[in-house]
Each structure stands twice: as structure tokens, then as C-alpha cells.
């Protein structure tokens, strides 16, 4: 889906020219969904107060910001529509179906391995290697899964070292 998915639109990034029109904006940051929802409702208001005319800090957008607000809301809507279309692309649907089929096959295999007792050291190492296949060194932490991942990776390294010596 990453090749099909649309890139993030530049219009949904706050700019230096946006900052004087609304309090708390930071140029270079993404426009939050909360801000977009606010702008969507603000644009529908028949009478928009202009904080600059009242001489106060713009805690709501200034009237001069209305066109940019429309651009942000429209770009967000188009971007979401593009993401939805990408998710419904035939290649993505086919890949999702294939992933689901492979996941089911993996579950069946894992159940067979889990219910078959290891009778040799090689069988035990094979089971541990199967566990290790789902982990990387980034997964090693103080949780039970992290300890299991560490043991699985260690066992796999020992098995590889044993094979090398043979």
C-alpha cells in the first residue's frame, strides 16, 4: 500500500505565514485533526469575530486566515479520500487477502509445533528458532516477551555456532 498511498500534503503543515493569524501555531508542525475540525466548524459560522480588530491575541483565527483555513480543510478531505481509495485499490485488497491466508497458515503451523513435544536438543532448538523468527534485537526488553526473545535469539546463535564447529 505504501507505493499506492498518497504522500502527505504540504498544505497540512503550519507555515510561518500562518502563525500571526491564530494563537499557538508552530511553523513546520502538522496541522492537528483537532485544529482541522475546529476550522471546519469555524468556517461554517455566519459571523466570525476578528480578534485583531478587537486588539486581542488571536485565540480564534483571524478573518484574513479564512482562505488558508478553507485550503487546509479541503486538502485534508482530499487526502483522506486518497487514502481511502488507496486502501480499496485491487492490489491492496489482494495483498490483504494473501496476508490473511498466510497468517492462518502460520497459526496452524505454530499450533502443530506447540503441541508436538521436542524429543531432542535439535528439536528444542528448532522450536526456539521458530519463536526467534518473529523477534529482532530491538524487541529485547524487561518484559516476558523480551526475555523469551532474548532466549530464542541466544539459542539460535548457539545452534549456529555449534553448526560452524561441526
Reported as a single tens digit per residue, the pLDDT across 36-94 is 999 999 899 877 766 666 666 667 787 888 899 999 999 999 999 988 888 888 888 88
Domain boundaries, the chain: 1-115, 117-166
Q: What is the pLDDT of residue 73?
A: 96
Dihedral (Cα; 45, 48, 49, 51), 10-degree rounding = 120
Tell me how far CA of residue 146 lies from CA of 127, 136, 151, 159, in angstroms: 17, 10, 9, 20
Amino acid at each position: 500500500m505504501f507505493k499506492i498511498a498518497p504522500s502527505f500534503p504540504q498544505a497540512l503543515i503550519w507555515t510561518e505565514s500562518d502563525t500571526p493569524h491564530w494563537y499557538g501555531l508552530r511553523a513546520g508542525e502538522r496541522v492537528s485533526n483537532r485544529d482541522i475540525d475546529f476550522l471546519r466548524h469555524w468556517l461554517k459560522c455566519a459571523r466570525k469575530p476578528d480578534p485583531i480588530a478587537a486588539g486581542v491575541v488571536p485565540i480564534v483565527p483571524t478573518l484574513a486566515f479564512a482562505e488558508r483555513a478553507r485550503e487546509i480543510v479541503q486538502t485534508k478531505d482530499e487526502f483522506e479520500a486518497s487514502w481511502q481509495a488507496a486502501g480499496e485499490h485491487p492490489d491492496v485488497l489482494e495483498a490483504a487477502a494473501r496476508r490473511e491466508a498466510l497468517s492462518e497458515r502460520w497459526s496452524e503451523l505454530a499450533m502443530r509445533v506447540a503441541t508436538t513435544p521436542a524429543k531432542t536438543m535439535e528439536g528444542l532448538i528448532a522450536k526456539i528458532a521458530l519463536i526467534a523468527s518473529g523477534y529482532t534485537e530491538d524487541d529485547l526488553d524487561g518484559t516476558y516477551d523480551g526475555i523469551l526473545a532474548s532466549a530464542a535469539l541466544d539459542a539460535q546463535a548457539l545452534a549456529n555456532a555449534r553448526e560452524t564447529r561441526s
